[in-house]
Structure 1
Amino acid sequence: MKLLLADDQTPVRQGLLRLLSLASDIKVVAEAVDGWEALDLARRLDPNLLLLDVRMPGLDGLGVLRTLRAEGMKTPVVLLSTFSDESAALSGLRLGAHSYLLKDVHFDDLLSTLRAAVKGESSVHSRVPRHLAAAAGDPAYFDLTSREHEILRLMAGGYSNKQIALVVDLQEGTVKNHVSSILLKLGVHDRTRAVLKALELGLL
């Protein structure tokens, strides 16, 4: 995948570049030091994925995402933040970000999230509060992917993550990411409430 990285903090950006260079399927095609540069590069290079710092001078990550969506660009976006900021996470998800990650995310989790985003599969870091969707009150949050629908049906059948992984032929960690995304979108804190909410919404 061709990735555009934007972060105004040079040590963070260079650290991410070194880590991402270890992944054979990811090529960082450009790096930006602020939102305006990121926006210009995204328009010119048409990357497969944008990894954007939420807080940048001038135009922040949310501003970049908002502008791209307004222009009709559907390029997947993963947001990065130093702090767990519910307001920023909520705004980003409302604007169509695929994921919101904290910068101390484990490298394997970062890679799985980036790969999921390119495939159109949401993945939410475990430290991002799962009640954000409830606070949003936005029906768009209930727009589950086909894979999430499949996993939700298995959850309703009482399957554990391990059992679901065997049924759908995925890694257990990937299933866990999907379950986290389902909980976030439905605005609930556990699997039982997710199933009840899905029944209430007619998703099952």
Structure 2
Amino acid sequence: MTARLRVLVADDHPVVREGLRGMLGLDGAIEVVGEATNGREAIAAAVALRPDVVLMDLRMPDIDGATATASIARQAPGVKVLILTTYDSDHDIVRAVESGATGFLLKDTPRKELTAAVHAAARGETVLTPVMMNKIVNHLRSPQAETLTTREVQVLRFVARGLSNAEIGRELTIGEATVKSHLLKIFTKLGVSDRTAAVMTAMARGILPPVR
């Protein structure tokens, strides 16, 4: 029997948490293992429970979602964080990208899209809705950016699918060290510092198609 995906819901509104728990509970492959009412609780719960995915609100008391995401990335690097937002500012969204969020969803996302996004995030895939893409595109587009090589685009496509460096190396028949070298060049050209930001920037610039 396949283990269910373990999800932590972090939101300061009880009605939102209850609604998310109810929607996720309809997917037999997902189990909500905990809830958090602020960023500090989200960090502690993510470290203690080690869920597969955290559904993280951006605007929460005590510690905001972007800051909590960065802390989780440092303290529980295997945990994927999927941001839930209404219509927060582009600045907040870009901060969350830089903090290591796997993707973004609006709180009014239909149930099937929500559960599909949770599964995709758990696989390490980047999740972006068209609305979220529009909100970050002006911050991440840079006409003067260096062009990626064909090989670098190939590597980035596999990164967007959630493959590890070793898996990408096997797919492209190159060494893991070569994959790392390509990634470093990609980060430099795109002006980013991690894999998620690289994928989102590439999507915003039209180098990669959005993952929905």
TM-score, length basis structure 2 = 0.66
In the superposition, relative to structure 1, how do residues 69 and 147 fare at CA in structure 2: closer, same or farther (>3 Å)? closer
Query: Alpha-carbon deviation of 1:145?
Result: 4.1
Counterpart position of 1:185 = 202
Query: Alpha-carbon deviation of 1:95?
Result: 1.6
Q: Distance in 2 between matches of 1:183 and 1:64?
A: 20
Q: Distance in 1 between matches of 2:135 and 2:159?
A: 21
In the superposition, relative to structure 1, how do residues 33 and 66 fare at CA in structure 2: closer, same or farther (>3 Å)? same
Mapping for residues 139-158 of structure 1, pairs under 5 Å:
144-146=156-158, 148=160
Counterpart position of 1:64 = 68
Match of 1:26 among 27, 30, 33: 30
Q: Distance in 1 between matches of 2:62 and 2:74?
A: 18
**Runs of 4 or more above 3 Å deviation:** 136-139, 181-184
Does residue 132 (structure 1) correspond to residue 136 (structure 2)? The answer is yes
Q: Distance in 2 between matches of 1:22 and 1:39?
A: 26
Secondary structure of 1:4's partner?
A: strand
Counterpart position of 1:194 = 207
Does residue 86 (structure 1) correspond to residue 90 (structure 2)? The answer is yes
Mapping for residues 2-21 of structure 1, pairs under 5 Å:
2-21=6-25
Aligned-residue sequence identity (percent) comes to 27
Secondary structure of 1:52's partner?
A: strand
Match of 1:121 among 122, 125, 146: 125
Q: Distance in 2 between matches of 1:98 and 1:106?
A: 19
For structure 1, the 5+ residue unaligned runs are 150-180, 196-204
Aligned AA (2:72): L
Deviations 1:64-93 (A, max 9, x none): 111122336231100011214311211111
Deviations 1:127-149 (A, max 9, x none): 1134725624699xx87341758
Deviations 1:4-49 (A, max 9, x none): 1110001111111111110111100001111111111111111111
Q: Distance in 1 between matches of 2:92 and 2:78?
A: 20
Query: Alpha-carbon deviation of 1:106?
Result: 1.4
- Please tell me whether the aligned partners of residues 90 and 133 of structure 1 are also in contact (alpha carbons under 8 angstroms): no
The number of aligned residues is 158
